[in-house]
């Protein structure tokens, strides 16, 4: 008797704790770092609860950046151009654009008129 392998969908198997993909987990950890700074600052003044809230909020922002995509709507000019792309990709492109001092290089082919 022969055995056959049945193909499986591996898309969801790279998820940790069901909601965290590897990318989302990394962005959440990066987001928690400034939240921990706020936590320690608030903890010095004896306000532990606002520090915990700041940490969770910063981690949530990191999770959103790593997970969600920009909606594809025609209502705004920004979403018209970047709709369907990941938020982190748009942020990375904006940072690279600012590093080049807001310059876009366009290479145009020079046309000659033959009369």
pLDDT at 88 over 90: no
**SS3 of residue 86 by DSSP:** strand
Residue 62's pLDDT is what? 92
- CA 29 – CA 39 distance, rounded (Å): 15
pLDDT at 115 over 60: no
pLDDT at 58 over 60: yes
Angle at 63 between CA 62 and CA 67, to 5 degrees: 120
pLDDT at 105 over 90: no
- Burial group, residue 48, by CB count within 10 angstroms (0-12, 13-18, 19+): exposed
Residue showing tokens 């940490």: 55
């Amino acid at each position: 008797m022969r055995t056959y392998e049945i193909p499986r969908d591996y898309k969801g198997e790279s998820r940790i704790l069901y909601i965290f993909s590897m990318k989302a987990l990394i962005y959440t950890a990066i987001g928690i770092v400034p939240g921990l700074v706020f936590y320690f600052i608030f903890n010095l003044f004896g306000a532990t609860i606002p520090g915990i809230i700041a940490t969770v909020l910063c981690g949530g922002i990191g999770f959103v950046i790593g997970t969600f995509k920009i909606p594809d709507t025609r209502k705004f000019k920004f979403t018209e151009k970047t709709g369907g792309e990941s938020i982190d990709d748009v942020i990375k492109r904006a940072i690279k654009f600012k590093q080049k001092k807001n310059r876009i290089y366009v290479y145009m082919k020079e046309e000659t008129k033959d009369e």
